[in-house]
Amino acid sequence: MLLMFMRLRFFSFSKMSEIITAAFLGLGTLAAQADLARGVVYHDQNRNGKRDQGEPGVSGVQVSNQLEISTTDEEGRWELPGDEDVTFFVIKPRDWMTPVNGHQLPRFFYTHKPAGSPDQSFPGIAPTGPLPSSIDFPLIQAQEPEKFEAVFFGDPQPRNVREVEYIGHDVVEELIGTSAKFGVTLGDIVFDDLAVFEPLNATIALIGIPWYNVIGNHDINYDSAEDADSDETFTRTYGPNY
């Protein structure tokens, strides 16, 4: 097991967002017969994860369907085409944050897959049914500094819960209380056994900062009949594979 972590300094959240977006997103046009998805990016003032009466839309925010980008209008509205296997996600703007779940994983995406994932060893995406009438993304105001720290893990790839415990003892304990604003695991989150996602997420969450994850070759379902379905446990857990 190889585990590296780095604490780096960056300048400007907005600039970093531009770099990540350019690196992972290719612009293009979806097929003409694709359904049109619509929604609103809004200020979740009470942080309950749903849009309540009086909560305003947020303008100028980018939303993607993994191929194209839409920018919200003055009411926070966006629309994009999508097929029957697509993840829509909001690109975090400066001075805003997306909600996180109990494991500090950012909730910034919605996967549309009407029939769900095929049966495989590790569960993928449950059937979603038709497109919702509105796919809304909550944002929470969070003032951000010009300079900040982030933590990066490289290839932690634990094979089982015991190795997750090693990571918890040798790495996570030292990072609790860090001044870093967020963390990222740069692929090979686990070593082929995707059931280890859950205990690893719970352990890394103890650091107490939002944690993003990039897919690696050990983070896919190797028993998938089709390559297109092999990343769906990752997508269900962490979001788009970009």
Task: Assign residue 196 the CATH number of its domain.
Answer: 3.60.21.40
Same domain, 84 and 162: no
The CATH number covering residue 95 comes to 2.60.40.10
pLDDT at residue 19, rounded to an integer: 46
pLDDT at residue 8, rounded to an integer: 54
Same domain, 106 and 175: no
Same domain, 46 and 116: yes
Same domain, 135 and 152: no
Total of domains in the chain:
2
What pTM was computed for the model? Answer: 0.85
Same domain, 179 and 108: no
Domain boundary among 112, 141, 170: 141
pLDDT at residue 85, rounded to an integer: 94
The residue segments making up the domain with residue 193 are 4-11+145-238
Same domain, 21 and 67: yes
Structure tokens at 77: 């509205």
Same domain, 121 and 163: no
Domain boundary among 99, 125, 141: 141
Are the C-beta atoms of 232 and 118 separated by less than 8 Å? no
Same domain, 70 and 173: no
Same domain, 194 and 206: yes
Question: Alpha-carbon dihedral of residues 114, 117, 123, 127, nearest 10 degrees?
Answer: 10
* CA atoms of 237 and 194, how far apart (whole Å): 10
Same domain, 192 and 215: yes
Same domain, 48 and 94: yes
* CA atoms of 20 and 12, how far apart (whole Å): 13
pLDDT at residue 211, rounded to an integer: 98
pLDDT at residue 35, rounded to an integer: 86
CB atoms closer than 10 angstroms to residue 93: 18
Domain boundary among 141, 171, 195: 141
In which element (H, E) is residue 186 found? Answer: strand 182-186
Residue 103, judged by CB atoms within 10 A of its CB (0-12, 13-18, 19+), counts as: middle
pLDDT at residue 131, rounded to an integer: 95
pLDDT at residue 31, rounded to an integer: 42
Ranges of residues in the chain with a pLDDT under 70 are: 1-34
Same domain, 207 and 89: no
